[in-house]
Amino acid sequence: MRKMDNEQGKDNESSDRKRFSFRINLFFFSSFIIFTVIIVRLAILQFVEGPQLKQQEASDVTKNVPLAPIRGTIYDATGQNRLAYSIPVQSLYITLSKNYSDSMEKLRSNDKKLLPELENMAQRLANRFAQYGDKNEPKMTAEQILDAMDRNYQRFNGFTPRLIKTNLSQEEVAYFMQHKSEFPGVDVVEETVRHYDPDTVAVQTVGYIKSYKSARESLPKYREIQESMSEEKDPGLIYMDNESVGFDGLEFQYQELLRGKNGYKTVPIDPRNMPEGVDSITPPQKGDNIYSTINKEIQVKTENAIMDQLRWLHTHAVSGSTHPYAKTGFAVAMEVDTGNVVAMASMPDYDANYWQTGTISSEKYKEIEHVYQNGTIRNVGSGQPGQHPDSTVLLGSTVKPLSVLIGLEEGLFTTNTYYQDTGAAYFGRNNSSRVRNASGHVYGIMDPASAIRHSSNVFMVDMVGKRLYNKYINNASEDQGVNVWDRYMKEFGLGVSTGVDLPGEFRGWREYTKKTESALSKLAYASFGQQGKYTPMQLAQYAAMIANKGKRMEPHLVSQIKDANGNVVQTIKPKVLNEVNFPDAYWNEVIRGMSTDVSAFNGFPYDFARKTGTSQQSVGGKLKDNGVFIAFAPRQNPKLAVAVVIPEGGFGAWSAGPVARKIFDAYDEVYGLDGVPKKKAGNSAVNDGM
C-alpha cells in the first residue's frame, strides 16, 4: 500500500515538472513573439514611415513661401523677334518677424510697443528710395510703405514676404545688399515683368496676362487650378495670387508650358505663425519658349495694309459711295500644305504692354475695349451694337465655289451642263420669291465655272438651292435638303471649330438651321451666301481646303516648343482634320471658275484662284455691304490661302482685294510663293516704315 503511494507521488511530481516546463517554454515563446513584433515595428518606423513622419514633422513647423516663376518667351517664326518676353527686375520684399498688428499693440504697455520700430523702418526705407531711386519716378512715402507691409495681416499671412517696391535702380540694389543688416527681414529678389513687341505685332493672337487672383474670378481653368491646389504636392506648381498668368491668346493657350515652376522659400514658423528665419531657397524654373508661325514682317505689312485700306475707303467711292463706317478689318493668311498661320490681323489693334503688370487702368481699358478681342476667330462688335456689322459676316459670293461643288457631288448637274442665266430666279408658292444678280446683270448661257466667275446668284438658286430641295423633298423630313447642305458646310470647316490653337473660337452662325422660313427658301438663299456667317479663320481654312482639293488642314500658330536650354520639347506637325473625296474634274471646274477680275492684282506675277464677295445684311434697319475675299496662290501647286473681311467696306474686289494682294506680296518676299524668296537686300518692314 505504501509502495503504491510512493509511486503515485512520483507521478504527480513528474507531471508538475512537465507543466512547469511547458509554462516556461510558453513564456519564452510569447516573449520572443512580442519582441519580434516590437523589432519589426521599430524597423518599419525607422526605414518605411520615418521619412514620411519626418516630413510631416517638418511641415508642422515650416511653410513653403512661393517665389514668382519666370515666364517663357514667345518668338515669331524667324526665332529672332520676341513677341512676348519677360525682363528681369529687382524687387524689395520684407518679411515681418514680429507681430506689429493693432490687436497685439493694444496688449502691450507703452514702453514695449513695437509699432514705432516699424514706422522708423518705413521712414528709413522711404529716405533711401528717395536718395537712390530713379529720379523720374514718383517717390514712395513712409505711409505707402507701411500700407504695403500689411502689418494687420489683411492680405498676407505672417510668414509671407510683402512686396514693397519693384524695378529697383542699380544704386538701390547695391545699397540694400550692402546694408542688409540694418533692415531686418528685407530681401532683394529678382523677378520679371512681361513685355510685348512695341510694334504691336499680332497682339490679339499673342494675348495678354492678368494676375492669377483676377483670372480665377472669370476663367474656369484657373478656378479648377485653385480648387485642386490643396491636393498639389509639388510646391513649384502652387499659384500665387499676385503672379501673372495668361488670360487670352497664346499666353493662355500655352499657360502651363510658358509658366515654368515657381521657386519657394522653406521658412521655419514659430507657434505664433511668425517666421524664425529662412531654412532653404529653391529657385524658380524658367518656362518653355514658344515659337510661333506668325512672321513679324508679313504680319506688320498685313496690319498696315488693313489700316491703309480703311482710310482709303473713307475717301474713295466703292459701289458708288464712300464707306465712312468701315472701321474694322480682319485677315488670315494660312499655308495650304502645313496649316501654318503666317499672319492673323484683327484691326485696329492696341499696345498689349497696357497689361504687362497683370492689371490695366480703367482709362486704358476704355480705349481698347472694342479692339482687344481677336475678331479673326470671334464675333467681335464695333462698339455700337445693332448699328454696324460684327466681324463675323455673311459669306456672300465666296460660298459659290462650294455651292457648285455640292451641286456636282449631288448629281444636280455636271461639268458639261449649260444654264441660261436670265438675270432672275423665282421660287416658292406661285414663284412669289425672286432673286436677282448684282446690279441686275443677265449673263446668258454659262457652265458651272462661268457661274462662279460671273458670280451668278440665279445659277446658284436654280441649279443648287432648288434642285437640292427637290432631290430630298420626298424624304420624311422637309428639311433633309437643309441637313445635307449643313453636312457639306461642316466638312469644309464652316460652322465647326477650325482646330486653331487659340482659346474662345466662335463657330459661326448657321442661320439656315434656325430661321422659320421654308426649307426651299433656306436653301435658295444659302446657295449664294445669305444664310451663314463665319469667321475669317474659317474662311481661310475653307479656301485652303479648295486649294489642296479636299484636305481640311488644322490651322496652328505654334510650330515648335523649346525648353530654357534650347532643347526641343515638342514639334507641331501638319494635321489633316478630315478629307472629302471628290473627282478631280469637280475641283478643276471650281478652281477654273475662281478667276474674277480684281484690279488690285494687276501685274501680279502668279496665276491665282480667287473669289470676291459682297455680303449684304440688314443691320439697324439698313442694308450694309461687307467686303469679303478669299484666294490662294499659285493656282497650280498652291502655297498660301488668304481670307480678308472688311465689314461695311462695299464690293469685296475693291475693299478686301487690295489687302489680300499686299499679303501675297509680303509672303512672296519672305518665303516665295514659288519657294524662292523675292526679298531684296535692305528691304524690310523697318525700312518700309512699318
Residue-wise pLDDT tens digits, 145-186: 999 999 998 877 776 788 899 889 999 999 999 998 899 889
Contact 554, 293 (CB under 8 A): no
Helix/strand number for the chain, H first, E second: 23, 26
Average pLDDT over residues 188-202: 89
Distance CA 467, CA 524 (A): 9
SS3 category, 538: helix
Q: What pLDDT digit, counting tens, does each position of 258-306 carry? A: 999 888 777 676 666 666 665 667 788 899 999 999 999 999 999 999 9
Average pLDDT over residues 80-87: 95
> In this structure, how many other beta carbons lie within 10 angstroms of the beta carbon of residue 621?
7
Distance CA 144, CA 129 (A): 12
Contact 213, 241 (CB under 8 A): yes
Q: How many CA atoms lie within 13 A of 561 on its CB side?
A: 19
Distance CA 684, CA 679 (A): 8
Fold held by 296-351+376-670: Beta-lactamase (3.40.710)
What is the phi/psi pair of residue 287, to 5°? -70, 170
> In this structure, how many other beta carbons lie within 10 angstroms of the beta carbon of residue 175?
20
The pLDDT, as a whole number, for residue 514 is: 82
Domains of the chain, residue spans: 88-95+109-190, 199-287, 296-351+376-670
Average pLDDT over residues 507-526: 90
Least-confidence region, from 38-47, 536-545, 617-626? 38-47
The pLDDT, as a whole number, for residue 686 is: 44
User: Phi/psi zone of residue 30: left (φ > 0), alpha (ψ -120 to 50 degrees), beta?
Assistant: alpha
Residue 440 burial (10 A CB sphere; 0-12, 13-18, 19+): exposed
DSSP string, 665-688: HHHHHHT-TTSS--PPTT-STTTT
Give the confidence band of 238 by pLDDT, cuts at 50, 70, 90.
confident
The pLDDT, as a whole number, for residue 494 is: 97
The pLDDT, as a whole number, for residue 687 is: 40
> Quick check: 3 pLDDT over 70?
no
Q: What pLDDT digit, counting tens, does each position of 384-403 carry? A: 766 788 889 999 999 999 99
Rank 60-74, 79-93, 357-371 by mean pLDDT and report only the highest: 79-93
What is the phi/psi pair of residue 394, to 5°? -60, 150
The pLDDT, as a whole number, for residue 166 is: 85
Give the confidence band of 685 by pLDDT, cuts at 50, 70, 90.
very low
Q: What pLDDT digit, counting tens, does each position of 425-464 carry? A: 999 888 889 999 988 999 999 999 999 999 999 999 999 9
Distance CA 532, CA 508 (A): 7
User: Which of 74, 111, 314 lies closest to 208 in space, CA to CA?
Assistant: 74
> Quick check: 190 pLDDT over 60?
yes
The pLDDT, as a whole number, for residue 689 is: 36
Contact 448, 460 (CB under 8 A): no
Q: What pLDDT digit, counting tens, does each position of 597-612 carry? A: 999 999 999 999 999 9
The pLDDT, as a whole number, for residue 187 is: 87
**Longest alpha-carbon distance in the chain:** 150
Please give the mean pLDDT across all residues of the chain: 88
Q: What is the 3-state secondary structure (H, E, C) of 412-475?
A: CCCCCCCEEECCEEEECHHHCEEEECHHHCCCEEECHHHHHHCCCHHHHHHHHHHHHHHHCCCC
Proportion of the chain above pLDDT 90, given as a percent:
61
> Quick check: 48 pLDDT over 80?
no
Q: What pLDDT digit, counting tens, does each position of 337-388 carry? A: 999 999 999 999 998 888 776 677 778 888 888 888 999 999 988 767 667 8
pTM of the model as a whole: 0.81
Q: Which residue has the higher pLDDT, 200 or 355?
A: 200
Q: What pLDDT digit, counting tens, does each position of 471-502 carry? A: 998 766 668 999 999 999 999 999 999 999 99
Kindly state the helix (H) or strand (E) to which residue 264 belongs, with its residue range. Answer: strand 263-268
> Quick check: 624 pLDDT over 70?
yes
Contact 435, 652 (CB under 8 A): no
Contact 649, 655 (CB under 8 A): yes
